[in-house]
Structure 1
Amino acid sequence: MNTWKKWTSALLAAGVIMGGSTAWVDQSVQAASVTSKVTAPAEVTLKSGGKTLAQKGLLQGGSTWVSLTAVKDVAGGTLKYDAKTKSYTVTAANNAMTVSLMDGQPNVYINGYYPQVEAKLIQGRLYIPFSAMRDYLGVQGSWDAKTKTLTLNKVKQNNVKVKSTKVNMTVKNAEVDVQYPQVSGLASKEAEAAINKVLKDEVDKAAAAFKKQTSEFGGATAKRPYAFETSYVVTYNENGVLGLITQHYEDYAGAHGMTYRAGHTFALDTGKELTLDDVLQNSKSMRETISKKVGEQLKASGGYLDGYKGLNKDQDFYVTPTGVVVFFQLYEYTAYAEGFPEMTFSYKEILPKGAAPFGNVTSEK
């Protein structure tokens, strides 16, 4: 791993790059904090497809942990080991989750993107929290506390493929790693082309800006190079809608680099990129309610810098299997150490009673 990538990973562990909040939480099988008290794990029975799996899960620190082999079996994906990087990669549901042991402890990233996910090495096996299976690998589950049983099932997802596309880009005295998502397999080739154009134009614009800045700044050396990295993660792929987070990181040999993030939500039948108002089914009152709650949470933060007057016209957000996450850029309203402030709202609390997510914006089910 490049030096600057290690730096990014270290900041992530400190809760800086990705922010200090959890994007969304399953109330029955919660994601463990990196500060959870270490206790002896208890065995958890895993079931899938009406059968009991040979692998056991573990209950520790308030989370149910599942081994990578069980993750692969239930998700229906692949599991590969890279001896050179000491990493395991599970590929499923249009995401490639890699758990690396290069630095002596498990580090998790997806398609080059660093999520706020912890992995554990327990008794020689690698485990991830169940919540990571649900959020990124297309697996849902139900928890029976009485019998300590977790029943796992694959989520019915859209028939779309999301492929990582590499860009061959060379900048003198700069470490560059550029990849971005492109979709295929849609019924409408016009919609497919529209989505791909948005995603390609975004990375092209960021790359062009980096090249311009490196030319203007100068000063990069082989010992202290500049850096540019782009990555993405699929956050939602159901009900005819595709949700992604894309981000890029740039470093000009200053005190620290900067990361910029974008949320994308596409209707797959038309290729339209949805706004927050679309997701809220154009409810003005709900937008006002969310705006107020977001302000309260921002101002309660110790790193609040002032200036919030309400949600932006083109508010940054992304969607997940359980709700909507409103977020802000680094320094937008909070100190750098706060990372990306995120506020989560479940579909149940933001949509009219009985309304299905995205029922008003797509004909696909």
Structure 2
Amino acid sequence: MTSWKKWTSALLAAGIIVGSGAVWQDNSVQAASVTSKVTAPTDVTLKSAGKTLTQKGLLLGGSTWVSLTAVKDVAGGTLTYNAKTKEYSLTAANNTMKISLADGEPTLRVNNYYPNVEAKLIKGRLYIPFSAMRDYLGVQGSWNGKTKTLALSKVEQNSVKVKAATVKVSIKNAEVDIQYPQVSGLASDEAEAAINKVLKDEVDTFVADFKKQTAEYGSATADRPYAFESTYVVTYNENGVLGLVTQRYEDYAGAHGMTTRTGHTFALDTGKELSLDDVLQNNKAMRETLGKKVGEQLKARGGYLEGYNGLNKDQDFYVTPTGVVVFFQLYEYTAYAEGFPEFPFTYKELLPKGAEPFSGVTSEK
């Protein structure tokens, strides 16, 4: 790993750049997090397809943890280990979760994107929190507090493939690693082309800007190169809707690099990119309520720089299996050290009673 990536990875893993949004869990599993006050690991029975798994989960630190091998058994996909880099890779549900042990302590990323999630190495075995399984690997669970049993099953996801495409850029003394998502397998060729165009146009714009900036700043040096990196993560893939977060990192040998993020929510039947208003089913009252709640939380947290007057017209957000996360860019309303301010809300909080997420915006159910 190059020096600038090590530096960036350390910041991301520490949560300085990732923001401090809450980790999502199914309500059925959250009971384990809320009611547990144990300080030592407690065994959790794991079940899948009605059968008890030989491996045990753990109740630790107020969260339910599952070993990486057990995750693979339920999620399917592939699990590999690179002895040279000391890195495990688990591919499932259009994401690749990588856990590196190169620096001793586990460092977790998904498609080179660093979520606010940690892995633990316990008695020689790697564990991840259940929330990470649900958010990124397509596994849901049902928690039984009395028996301390977690029943796991795969989520029924859309029939769409999301693969990383790359852009080759050669600039002297610049380290460039560009990966962006492209979709395939949709029933509509027009919808597929529309989604891919949005994602390709976005990365092309940033590549052009990077080339322009490097030309204006002049040549970098070999010991402090410029850097440009882009990546993505799939955050939702159900009910005919695909959710992603794309991320770009730029460093022109200044005090620190700069990271930007974009949330994308697409209806797979039409290729339309959904706005926050679409997700809220055009409920103006709820949008106003949401804006007030976000403002209260934003102003109460450290590093607030003032200026918030409500949600933006084209508000940044992304969707997850359990709700919507509203977020802001670095420096938008908070100091750099605060990272990306994130504010999660469940669908139950945002939608009318009995309403299904994305009803009325897609015909695929």
Maintained 8 Å contact 2:67/2:128: yes
Question: Using a 3 Å threshold, how does the CA distance of structure 1 residues 31 and 227 change in structure 2: closer, same or farther?
Answer: farther
State the 1:347 CA deviation: 0.5
Maintained 8 Å contact 1:32/1:129: no
Question: RMSD in angstroms over aligned alpha carbons?
Answer: 1.7
State the 1:31 CA deviation: 11
Q: Give the 5 Å matches for 1:335-346.
A: 335-346=335-346
State the 1:38 CA deviation: 9.4
| SS state at 2:325 partner | strand
State the 1:170 CA deviation: 1.5
Q: Give the 5 Å matches for 1:184-333.
A: 184-333=184-333
Aligned to 1:151: 151
State the 1:40 CA deviation: 2.7
Aligned to 2:88: 88
Corresponding letter in the other structure for 1:46 = L
State the 1:265 CA deviation: 0.1
Aligned to 1:47: 47
State the 1:12 CA deviation: 1.9
Aligned to 1:142: 142
State the 1:28 CA deviation: 5.1
- Say how many residue pairs are matched: 363
State the 1:39 CA deviation: 3.6
Corresponding letter in the other structure for 2:163 = K
Maintained 8 Å contact 2:18/2:115: yes
Aligned to 1:17: 17
Summarize deviations over 1:278-336 as a string: whole Å, max 9, x none.
00000110000001111111111221111111110100000000100000000001110
CA distance in 2, matches of 1:23, 1:275: 23
State the 1:219 CA deviation: 4.4
CA distance in 1, matches of 2:354, 2:31: 28
Question: Using a 3 Å threshold, how does the CA distance of structure 1 residues 155 and 88 change in structure 2: closer, same or farther?
Answer: same
Question: Using a 3 Å threshold, how does the CA distance of structure 1 residues 357 and 226 change in structure 2: closer, same or farther?
Answer: same
State the 1:246 CA deviation: 0.2
Summarize deviations over 1:168-202 as a string: whole Å, max 9, x none.
22111011111000000000000000000000111
State the 1:32 CA deviation: 11
| SS state at 2:152 partner | strand
Maintained 8 Å contact 1:23/1:325: no
Corresponding letter in the other structure for 1:305 = L
Corresponding letter in the other structure for 2:232 = Y
Maintained 8 Å contact 1:249/1:259: yes
CA distance in 2, matches of 1:263, 1:117: 19
State the 1:63 CA deviation: 1.1
Corresponding letter in the other structure for 1:345 = F
State the 1:26 CA deviation: 3.9
CA distance in 1, matches of 2:354, 2:226: 51
Deviates more, 1:300-309 or 1:178-187: 300-309
Corresponding letter in the other structure for 2:226 = Y
Maintained 8 Å contact 2:176/2:227: yes
Tell me, which stretches of 5 or more residues in structure 2 are unaligned?
none
| SS state at 1:141 partner | strand
State the 1:10 CA deviation: 1.4
Maintained 8 Å contact 1:31/1:62: no
| SS state at 2:203 partner | helix
Identity of aligned residues (%): 79
| SS state at 2:340 partner | coil
Maintained 8 Å contact 2:235/2:319: yes
CA distance in 2, matches of 1:7, 1:334: 22
Maintained 8 Å contact 2:32/2:145: no
CA distance in 2, matches of 1:202, 1:32: 40
State the 1:143 CA deviation: 0.9
| SS state at 1:343 partner | strand
CA distance in 2, matches of 1:88, 1:167: 25
Maintained 8 Å contact 1:30/1:131: no
Corresponding letter in the other structure for 2:344 = T
Maintained 8 Å contact 1:25/1:31: no
Q: TM-score, normalised by structure 1?
A: 0.96
